[in-house]
Chains A and B, each alone.
Chain A
Amino acid sequence: MPSTRDDGVHGAHLSRHTPGQRLNAYFLHHRQMLLAGLQRLRQHPLASFMTVAVIGIALALPAGTLVLVKNAKNVSDNWKGAARISLFLKPGLSDALVQQLAASVREHAGVGSVQVITANQSLADFQQRSGFGDALNLLGSNPLPAVLVIQPTDDYAMPAAAQQLGQTLGELPQVDQVRMDIQWLERLQAMLEILRRAVVIIALLLALAVVFIVGNTIRLEIENRRTEIEVSKLMGATDRFIRRPFLYHGAWYGLAGGVLAWFLVVIALLLMAGPVSHLASLYGNQFSLRGLGFDGSLELLMSGIVLGWLGSWLAVARHLRAIEPA
């Protein structure tokens, strides 16, 4: 407004203000409209609350799910205990050869520790656990292979690195088959990635919904203030001047929705914290749910504000121009 040519000319006619004072008036109007927007929210508490609730839920759903996915990803990324590699050796290797192989594997980069399970040990284990002891005795020879159970060093404990290590070791001539405990973890991670993508898509759709909800609410507000808009236009109000309170109004809706969403997520996480730490303790893990954090909270609130602003912009762009004094 102050930048417009006509305004400058007219401003001189209107008043003897310094540019600083005019700027002050400009910021004052922004501040007034900021407060007026909040005031309008409070004028119809029930209607405002319902709109805010819808926005809050629409924001809380993707935000909460994203927090859970991040937590799950965090767990699976750091799941070192699971990165065990079992090398099933070819049958018929003597115990001495098996021990020799174990020693050379132990020297391999990335190998933390090697546990040797000889064929006889495997058989004894199996007999004890399965209850097929007598049946196995009938076989005459031992059908079970010797196994080297390898625990990678921390550097190689992550799924990708462990996979690499397992492949290298699998190429040893004495190795018949490699079995990695890591595989289920990889599948879990793949599923988590799918879930994350799905959440992002849903989040985008819900964001669109928020924009439309705010847009519709502001459209009604514009309709309610038709006279005021007409009169203001007759008194020489620019489009920007008329737009401003509605944009702030929409932003307030978004912010209020964001705050509500934040509380919903925090409450949901609190409710889940107990069962989650119980589950973690079953795995012998010291794990606790991570919340939104500072960045996440800020992102949530900001996206609320931006979506609210966008929604009201949509309504304002469509409807304000149509209202002209007649």
Chain B
Amino acid sequence: MIQFSEVGKRYQGGNEALAGVSFSIARGEMVFLTGPSGAGKSTLLKLLALIERPSRGQIIVNGQNLGGIRRRQIPYYRRKVGVIFQDHKLLPERTVFDNVALPLTIAGVFHREISKRVGAALELVGLLHKEHALPVTLSTGEQQRVGIARAVISRPPILIADEPTGNLDPDLSYEVMQLFRRLNQVGITVLVASHDHNLIRRLGQRYLSLRGGRMVAPELQGDAHAEHA
């Protein structure tokens, strides 16, 4: 589903964020991306969301070579990748409903369908009763769950999350990760960047480890992987 071959990224100014990274993630897999800050996790996710372009190497997502996607086509690619941010990036002056509906509005989905699907997505994250609230009135954990509802509303085959639990306490973090697992179980390929080793160990999923722009540890299979499969 996601395949990196010798991908390097050097930013203007010479800072090399990724130095030849190769890995692949199968369809329907859930994988963590770990490593200290500055290891290149964010850059790797930005390459996947086509926010940045690699300096070298090749990225193939869902059978599509990202190098071949021109600027005008980027929006249509992005609609197939759900993105979740650490700071959730909700629009403060819009209600929870409107925030979650945004990807559907953008994709030009018929409005009756929109309200049906927003309802379903909010139910999934347990926030149906908050649909008319403004994001500021929600707790951090709730805001993050709204962000997740928004990321999955257009039923993307791939979900990527950048430190989704960075601002959450351990219990809330675990809840959010369980949510990702549920999404993974319905067939979405999930890639979560996180430096929370305890949490990753507790979940027992496969993880990739970045350090200084390179893959370091051999890819370890978590003990609990069998249980998930």
Nearest residue (CB) in B for A23 is B108
Q: State whether B76 touches A10 (Cβ < 8 A).
A: yes
Main secondary structure of the interface of A (DSSP, over half): helix
> Are the C-beta atoms of A28 and B111 separated by less than 8 Å?
yes
Q: Is the CB of A231 within 8 A of B110?
A: no
Instruction: Mark the stretch among B98-106, B136-144, B189-197 that contacts chain A.
Output: B98-106
Q: Which of A11-19, A103-111, A274-282 contacts B (4 or more CB under 8 A)?
A: A11-19
Interface band, chain A = 35 or more
Q: Does residue A95 face the partner (Cβ distance < 8 Å to B)?
A: no
Residues in A neighbouring B72, C-beta threshold 8 A: 238-239
- Chain B residues with CB under 8 A of A130: none
Q: Would you call A228 an interface residue if the criterion is a C-beta within 8 Å of the partner chain's C-beta atoms? A: yes
Measured in the bound complex, the distance between the Cα atoms of B77 and A6 in whole Å is: 8
Which of B15-23, B28-36, B78-86, B171-179 lies on the face that meets chain A?
B78-86
A174 to chain B, nearest CB (A): 84
Which residue from B106, B108, B155 sits with its C-beta under 8 Å from A235?
Answer: B106
Bound together, the chains give a CA A230 to CA B102 distance in angstroms of: 12
A14:B107 contact, CB within 8 angstroms = yes
A238 and B75 contact, Cβ closer than 8 Å, known pairs A14-B155, A22-B110, A227-B91: yes
Within 8 A of B (CB), among A12-46: 13-15, 17, 21-22, 24-26, 28-29
Known: A1-B108, A14-B154, A25-B111. 19 other contacts (CB 8 A): A7-B108, A10-B107, A11-B108, A14-B109, A15-B110, A17-B113, A22-B110, A28-B111, A227-B89, A227-B91, A232-B106, A233-B75, A236-B78, A238-B72, A238-B75, A239-B75, A241-B75, A241-B106, A326-B51
| Interface check B12, CB cutoff 8 A | no
Q: Is the CB of A29 within 8 A of B102?
A: no
What is the chain B residue whose CB lies nearest that of A9?
Answer: B76
Contacts of B200 in A (CB 8 A): none
B198 beta carbon closer than 8 Å to chain A: no
Q: Which residues of chain B are within 8 angstroms of A6 by Cβ–Cβ distance?
A: 73, 76-77
A2 within 8 Å of B by Cβ? Answer: yes
State whether A235 touches B111 (Cβ < 8 A).
no
- Is B49 an interface residue, CB under 8 A from the partner? yes
Q: Which A residues contact B (CB, under 8 angstroms)? A: 1-2, 4, 6-7, 9-11, 13-15, 17, 21-22, 24-26, 28-29, 227-228, 230-239, 241, 324-326
Distance in angstroms between the alpha carbons of A325 and B85 in the assembled complex: 12
Residues of A within 8 A of B110 (CB): 15, 17, 21-22, 24-25
Interface residues, chain B, CB within 8 Å of chain A?
A: 49, 51, 72-73, 75-80, 83, 89, 91, 102-103, 105-111, 113, 150, 154-155
The answer to whether B49 and A234 have CB atoms under 8 Å apart is yes
Q: Which 5 A-B pairs have the closest CB atoms?
A: A236-B79, A6-B76, A236-B78, A235-B103, A236-B75
Q: Which residues of B contact A235 (CB under 8 A)?
A: 78-79, 102-103, 106, 150
B51 touches A236 (CB 8 A): no
Give CA–CA (A213, B102) in the complex, Å: 31
CB within 8 Å for A13 and B89 given contacts A22-B108, A236-B107, A238-B75: no
A-B contact pairs, 26 of them (CB 8 A): A7-B76, A10-B76, A10-B79, A10-B107, A11-B108, A14-B79, A14-B109, A15-B107, A15-B109, A21-B110, A24-B110, A25-B109, A25-B110, A29-B105, A230-B89, A232-B106, A234-B89, A235-B79, A235-B102, A236-B78, A237-B106, A241-B75, A324-B51, A325-B49, A325-B51, A326-B51
**Shortest CB–CB separation between residue B156 and chain A, in angstroms?**
9
Question: In the docked arrangement, what's the CA distance between A1 and B73, Å?
Answer: 11
In the complex, what's the smallest C-beta–C-beta distance from B50 to chain A, in angstroms? Answer: 10
Report the Cα distance A158→B176, complex, angstroms: 88
* A231 CB contacts on chain B under 8 angstroms: 89, 91, 102
- From known contacts A10-B80, A231-B91, A326-B51, infer whether A236 and B103 are also in contact, taking CB-CB under 8 Å: yes
Complex CA gap A78/B89 in Å reads 69
In the bound complex, what is the Cα–Cα distance between A236 and B107 (angstroms)? Answer: 8
Q: Which residue of B51, B77, B83, B109 is within 8 Å of A17 (Cβ)? A: B109
Candidate in A14, A21, A238, A241 with the most chain B CB atoms within 10 angstroms = A14
Residues in A neighbouring B77, C-beta threshold 8 A = 6, 236
- Chain A residues with CB below 8 A from B79, complex form: 10, 14, 235-236
Residues of B within 8 A of A324 (CB): 51
Q: Within the complex, what minimum Cβ distance (angstroms) separates B74 from chain A?
A: 8
